[in-house]
Amino acid sequence: MAFDDLGAEIKAVEERLVTLTQGIEQFEEASRVTMASTQNTVLSQLRDSVNAVNKTMLFLDQGEDIYIDTVVGPLSEAQSTKDVVKKHSTSMHESFSQLRETATSAVKQAEDVKSMLSEFDVQLDILRKDLDAIATRAESLYAIARLALGSMEKEIQNTERILEQKKGEIASLERELGNGNDDRRRLRKKRSVAWASSIIFPPMVLRAVSLEFRASDLRARMRELKEQIKDEEPKTLSLLREKATLEGHKEILAAVVANTKALITRCEPLSSSASETQQLVENKIVEYHDLVLRADDFAAWTGDLTRQTNTFRLLGSSSRMQLQKSTTRIVTRLLEMDQAEVKLITRGLKE
């Protein structure tokens, strides 16, 4: 039967499932470690950026500045203010530029993880389809085996019934032949007496001849029946052997169906785990993308401010006002972020 290949196929698929399971579990574990490390790096860089903003806010609110001692030489108040503004805008620009690079790298890494998880999902889907195909074939062969067994059972029962009938007929013939033997013995005694007295009874002779013919017919029929039984008994034994073989095949097919369904069941938590990890990664991609966009804006604003102060387009109070405006926009955008870990970092900011 075609089921002979199913055992090898299901074993091969099971080996693929084991390999795939190990691959997914190892990749997920490594990805969790890497993603956690990346998250810490991103948050650390965000923390540095927020610290730069806090220092700028301190300067804007209280006039205190950590960079004031770096201004060298006798400068006017406007020039000193411009230099301090430049220091703050440059610090924030560099910090947010680094944050953008870090977040961009995090996005790339998360997308690579997502891509690999998608590949695992494709392999898992192929494996499930292979298992479904094996299960379908096994169930079909199992149904065929059941039908064949049912038909064979009827054939065996019919053959055994015919054999029993023939054996019963032989037994009946043997009884009849035995009774005929008794009649012939009694008749022979009567004939002996008649011959001894030289008396011949024609009816008795006819009866004896009739009994002999009947006995001959009975023996011929018995020989015929025994020959038929002799021919049919091996066929019955052959049917019984085929039945036993078919029952064994049916049991194997039932086991294949059960094993295949068990493997399909084993795929479900694996698929669920991969889906959960993929959803987590997708959420991180969204978060990192958002951070990239914000950091890009922040770097652009502070970069413009730095360039303007470098070209003396902003001096004194005007540069400070521009710094105030840019910082306020940055703080507003930072406070809009609703991720719990980000809020812990930005909670010290105020608009």
DSSP string computed for 1-62: -TTHHHHHHHHHHHHHHHHHHHHHHHHHHHHHHHHHHHHHHHHHHHHHHHHHHHHHHHHHHH
Of 89-93, 188-192, 260-264, 343-347, the poorest mean pLDDT is in: 188-192
| 40-53 average pLDDT score | 93
- 8 A C-beta contact, residue 177 and residue 217: no
Please state the domain count of the chain: 1
Residue 198: which pLDDT band, with cuts at 50, 70 and 90?
A: very low
The span from the CA of 68 to the CA of 178, in Å, is 138
Higher pLDDT pick, 337 / 6: 337
Q: Report the C-alpha dihedral over residues 285, 286, 289, 291, rounded to 10 degrees.
A: -110
Does the structure show a pLDDT above 90 at 41?
A: yes
How many distinct helices (H) and strands (E) make up the chain? 5, 0
Q: Which two tokens stand for residue 315?
A: 């001096």
| CATH number, position 306 | 1.10.287
The span from the CA of 107 to the CA of 95, in Å, is 18
Question: Which residues in 239-268 are b (16+ Cβ under 10 Å) and which e?
Answer: beeebeebeebbebbeebbebbeebbeebe
Of 49-53, 65-69, 175-179, 298-302, the poorest mean pLDDT is in: 65-69
Q: What confidence score (pLDDT) does residue 170 get?
A: 76
Residue 104: which pLDDT band, with cuts at 50, 70 and 90?
A: very high
Q: What confidence score (pLDDT) does residue 290 get?
A: 92
Identity of the residue numbered 142: Y
Query: Is-above-0.75 flag for pTM?
Result: no
The span from the CA of 164 to the CA of 21, in Å, is 60
| 308-331 average pLDDT score | 74
Query: Which of the residue ranges 41-50, 72-81, 128-137, 213-222 has the most confident prediction, judged by mean pLDDT?
Result: 41-50
Q: What confidence score (pLDDT) does residue 117 get?
A: 85
Q: Which two tokens stand for residue 267?
A: 């795929």
Phi, psi of 66 (to 5 degrees): -80, -15
Identity of the residue numbered 47: R
Sign of CA dihedral 216, 219, 224, 227: negative
Averaged pLDDT of the chain: 78
The fraction of the chain above a pLDDT of 70, given in percent, is 79
| 213-224 average pLDDT score | 72
Of 29-33, 170-174, 292-296, the poorest mean pLDDT is in: 170-174
SS3 350: coil
Q: Which two tokens stand for residue 111?
A: 């997308």
Closest-CA residue to 141 (of 33, 14, 42, 251): 251
Domain enclosing residue 83, as ranges: 1-349
pLDDT in tens, 146-164: 888 888 888 888 887 887 8
Does the structure show a pLDDT above 90 at 188?
A: no
Closest-CA residue to 68 (of 322, 311, 305, 58): 58
